[in-house]
Structure 1
Amino acid sequence: MQRHLDVELEQLKGRITEMGRMVELQMQESIEALVARDPVKARQVIDRDHQVNAMEVGIDEDCVRMIALHQPEARDLRFVITAMKIITDLERMSDLATNISERVVELCEEPPVSIPPAIVEMSTIGRAMLTNALEAFVSRNTAMAKQVTLEDEKVNVLHRTLVRTIVESLRQHTGETSPIIRILFISRSLERFADHATNVAEIIMYMVEGKIIRHMV
């Protein structure tokens, strides 16, 4: 007979995956809104942030309840702890997508500005990192999780290069600089999004192997 805890853990896995898909869609639509100068879509992303927040609270409460009620050991306990850590990163990633959408709304009220291709590329890589991290979570695939962590440097390089370009543009620009500053903010948010995807991948490696690799060189 299947343990009741096994059923709850499987349901927990599904809820975390659902939360991750919501966050991934938020990021996708925030960049779509940026490229299309679509404040309506941007506001829709902002309005959905509370749904992700509610999911985080609900999952966290269920994890605490499972620990108190079932007192899971070893592998099951690591799974629950992993879940609690992952949803924290997912909630922060949702906040970053929301912040980008808020900048999009502001940009739509100003003269059009060219969107650097690096912004779209960073978003594409970051979303793929999240997708693969979620797949690694479901399949307990540490090789896939490791690959996610390696992708982070690509986003870092794109962000650093874009920052240098923007700083040089600000030096030469004598007019309105606020749109450029907002693009810089969006780039920083995308870089942080990738950082959180990396965190998720590292947490998954802990779940499977029982080893904490964060901050290890």
Structure 2
Amino acid sequence: MRRLFDDELADLDTSFKEMGLLVAERLHEAVQAFLDHDREAAQRIIDDDKAINQREIALEKKTFEMIALYQPVTTDLREIVTILKAVSVLERIGDNARNIALSTIAIKGTKRVPEIEELIGSTGEIVAKMVSEVLTYYVNDDARGSQSMAEIALDVSQRTAKIRDLAVDSMKLDPELVSSSTDYLVIGGYLKRTSDYVTDIAEWIIYKRTGKIVELNPGQSSFI
């Protein structure tokens, strides 16, 4: 029975990691599509969102089945609970990638601000890397590494605040930039929320490793 449980838990781990890598890739692609004004790439991301949702459903179903069948305790139970909680967060990150893609398709402004777009691009890369790194910390059972996500999230918060300020200033200076700047505000908000979601996953990894509930994102900053 124990060997069967270990095999199924290993499969669950693998599926969770695969979903996380897929989400990180979609997020990176969504930001790039926005910067390239690539509506076709954006539409592909929107279409692929169903696959992420299906993975979430399958993983949640598997975790419930394993809890009911094996009735795990202590570290085994914490690992399954971590996946159950974190997979829903990954799905929300996938939703943010989809929403960025939707913004790319809906965008109406033709006049752009290169400085803001460069900042969005670099911030998007940081956030996508956060998703990949937190998965590495999960694999390595690395509580200390997971705690480092809080510092990176703070950097993202500062970056998105700058995106917000630059976008508002652009609206004031040039009415023709109102539409584009509004899109910048929306994308900045998605990136900020995504970095917060990553800290949520990091908190569950720490719980998995130590059994302790910690708060890495105490809500000291907000995008708006």
Is this contact kept in 2: 1:122–1:191, CA < 8 A? no
* Letter matched to residue 134 of structure 1: L
Describe the superposition over 1:109-167 as per-residue Cα deviations: whole angstroms up to 9, x where unpaired.
54152342210121111111111100011110112111122210000000111211211
Quote the Cα distance in structure 1 between the aligned partners of 2:125 and 2:89. Answer: 18
Unaligned segments of structure 1, at least 5 residues: none
User: Does residue 31 of structure 1 match 2:28?
Assistant: no
Quote the Cα distance in structure 2 between the aligned partners of 1:169 and 1:32. Answer: 22
Describe the superposition over 1:61-115 as per-residue Cα deviations: whole angstroms up to 9, x where unpaired.
11001000000010000001000111011000000000000111122x5415234
Quote the Cα distance in structure 2 between the aligned partners of 1:215 and 1:147. Answer: 9
Quote the Cα distance in structure 1 between the aligned partners of 2:75 and 2:59. Answer: 19
DSSP-derived class of the 1:132 partner = helix
Query: Equivalent residue for 1:111?
Result: 110
Query: Equivalent residue for 2:141?
Result: 140
Taking the TM superposition and a 5 Å limit, the aligned residue runs for 1:1-217 are 3-107=3-107, 110-115=109-114, 116=116, 117-175=118-176, 177-214=178-215
Identity %: 27
Quote the Cα distance in structure 2 between the aligned partners of 1:20 and 1:184. Answer: 26
Query: Equivalent residue for 2:221?
Result: none
DSSP-derived class of the 1:23 partner = helix
Sort the Cα spacing of 1:216 and 1:158 in 2 relative to 1 into closer, same or farther, 3 A. closer
Is this contact kept in 2: 1:149–1:202, CA < 8 A? no
DSSP-derived class of the 2:215 partner = coil
* Alpha-carbon shift at residue 175 of structure 1 (Å): 3.2
Quote the Cα distance in structure 1 between the aligned partners of 2:163 and 2:151. Answer: 20
**87-96 or 157-166: which moved more?**
157-166
Quote the Cα distance in structure 2 between the aligned partners of 1:216 and 1:182. Answer: 26
Quote the Cα distance in structure 1 between the aligned partners of 2:109 and 2:49. Answer: 25
Describe the superposition over 1:173-205 as per-residue Cα deviations: whole angstroms up to 9, x where unpaired.
323622210111001101111111111111100
Describe the superposition over 1:24-77 as per-residue Cα deviations: whole angstroms up to 9, x where unpaired.
111111111112211111101111101000000010011001000000010000
Q: RMSD between aligned alpha carbons? A: 1.6
* Letter matched to residue 87 of structure 1: V
| Aligned structure 1 segments of 4 or more residues deviating by more than 2 angstroms | 171-176, 214-217
